[in-house]
Amino acid sequence: MPIRHLTADAVRAAEHAAGDLLANGTLMRRASRGVASVVIEELRRTGGCYGRRVGIVVGAGDNGGDALYAGAVLARRGVACVALLLAPEKAHAGGLEGFRRAGGHVVGDLPDALDVVIDGVVGIGGRGPLRPAAAAVFGALTPPEDGGPIIVAVDLPSGVDADTGEVHDPAVRADITVTFGVRRNVHLLAAPQCGRVRLVDIGIDTTGAAEADTLWTLTDAEVGRMWPVPGPADDKYSQGVVGVIAGSARYPGAAILASGAAVAATSGMTRFIGSAAEEVVSHHPEVVAVHTHADAGRVQAWAVGPGMGTDDDALALLRDILATDLPVLVDADGLTMVAAHPDLVADRAAPTLLTPHAGEFARLAGSEVGPDRLTAVRELAHRWQVTVLLKGRITLIADPTGAVLGNDAGASWASTAGAGDVLSGMAGSLLAAGLSPQLAGAAAARAHAHAAVLAARGAPIGASDLLAAVRPAIRELRGVDAS
């Protein structure tokens, strides 16, 4: 099953639906034991629990209560626990009493040489940056890589918005985030700020949450299962024929990268149209390359735009492609022309996938993406009735209904010139193989990110390195042993 992420309101509704489990404190006790278990696991990984030192930064409300109860569990396991109360008069009374009874101590300042610091400042209801007192506490901590404590956030890092993932300044940057029942939007949208996310089952039912408010991510196994591979009765045509329009004889790089990625991603046929035909065939002899659209032959989907130019001839060609009833992916120069001529995609009945980076998105939407990327991509997809893939470390793919699939690349190795051309070729080939624009974009984004990690291995890469790693990445996603 895809991984589900919910808004703060949907999580609250699920908690309230738990009835007595919420009212009698059962959910809080389960949550606190989950936090304590994750901290214990971390301490054991680095030498054991007894005598280790944990500091808890406590705000008002239930988030601080979760942290205090977790501290009580830790104290009973022999961990030396101290709590810094940012608002003593508003600290969770039951949690504070349990913490003290278990042997925990309240302090005015966090001591040095802590092994773990638990962020229990604010939960999913928090808004805006850390207040000065909390900012001073976390700002004084030495990073873990320099010998400082591991930071474990309860539910989400304080100072990060639960629904939009906006990282305010200042905000906590967690090494581990422990959350409960279901992941929140923030755990994808602000994944670098959350660190490793650990999900604890506390017995709430989220199946009734509104689908319109749901953000999903595909697992590697799901992407592997949906990836098109040839069956016993397949031939080159039945597997999908993608047409690529990219680059030029003067600037052939985009053409070579996009065509090569289409070839690597599926086993059907890749046709290329453009003045870089000879250069493309010299790099990828299996591509059927011609100079003009009239000579292209039959295709089942188009990937157009990277490096194709924006002159009158390019605009006329793009208009012809978008006038067909075939799925079309539009990127780069193609997006520049669509931004200037929205009528190109207005009322288009056939599947359309736009793949902008933030700057291209601003030209399409007429405004900057802003901190709420999720709402921005949903609104553009709905307004234009197309599927929009907003690129980034966290890629978001929204269809016209408002459904969104996300992908965390896990790193930014793919932030290199030409990487977008590779993504266009991959996603275009998946469109030709029959995947919907949203699934084609999401699957391509996951394989693209995986290829970047495989290619980099800790060192910077170029787009050619990324392209070379596409097939190994697909193999790993499919669980195929290449040895």
Using alpha carbons, select from 468, 403, 481 the residue that is nearest to residue 441.
403
Using alpha carbons, select from 439, 409, 362 the residue that is nearest to residue 188.
409
* Cα 38 from Cα 198, distance rounded (Å): 8
Task: Calculate the average pLDDT of the chain.
Answer: 94
187 is in an annotated binding site: no
At 106, is the secondary structure helix, strand, or coil?
Answer: strand
373 is in an annotated binding site: no
Query: Would you say 373 and 390 are in contact if contact means Cβ atoms under 8 Å apart?
Result: yes
Mean pLDDT of 199-223: 82
158 is in an annotated binding site: yes
383 is in an annotated binding site: no
461 is in an annotated binding site: no
pLDDT band at residue 347 using 50, 70 and 90 as cut-offs: confident
Position 210 scores a pLDDT of: 57
pLDDT band at residue 213 using 50, 70 and 90 as cut-offs: low
125 is in an annotated binding site: yes
128 is in an annotated binding site: yes
**DSSP string for residues in 256-305:** HHHHHHHHHH-SSEEEEESTTHHHHHHH-TTSEEESSGGG----SEEEE-
Which strands, in side-by-side order, build the sheet including 3-6? 183-184, 3-6, 215-217, 404-408, 394-398, 387-390, 352-354, 328-330, 301-304, 241-245, 269-273, 288-290
357 is in an annotated binding site: yes
What amino acid occupies position 437?
A: P
Cis peptide before 170 (omega within 30 of 0): yes
24 is in an annotated binding site: no
66 is in an annotated binding site: yes
61 is in an annotated binding site: no
391 is in an annotated binding site: yes
More confident residue, 259 or 181: 259
Q: What percent of the chain has pLDDT over 90?
A: 86
* Cα 200 from Cα 169, distance rounded (Å): 28
pLDDT at 20 over 70: no
Per residue in 89-100, pLDDT (tens digit) is 999 999 999 999
Q: If you ran DSSP here, which 8-state letter would residue 146 be given?
A: G
159 is in an annotated binding site: no
pLDDT at 212 over 60: no
Mean pLDDT of 161-167: 97
Burial of 473 (0-12, 13-18, 19+ CB in 10 A): buried
407 is in an annotated binding site: no
Mean pLDDT of 238-264: 96
224 is in an annotated binding site: no
192 is in an annotated binding site: no
Position 46 scores a pLDDT of: 87
Query: Would you say 353 and 386 are in contact if contact means Cβ atoms under 8 Å apart?
Result: yes
Position 14 scores a pLDDT of: 80
129 is in an annotated binding site: yes
pLDDT at 473 over 90: yes
450 is in an annotated binding site: no
Per residue in 294-309, pLDDT (tens digit) is 999 999 999 999 999 9
Position 16 scores a pLDDT of: 76
Strand partners, 85: 58
* Cα 360 from Cα 441, distance rounded (Å): 17
Position 206 scores a pLDDT of: 73
185 is in an annotated binding site: no
Position 264 scores a pLDDT of: 98
* Cα 18 from Cα 376, distance rounded (Å): 33
Q: What domains lie within the chain, and their CATH numbers?
A: 3-217 (3.40.50.10260), 220-477 (3.40.1190.20)
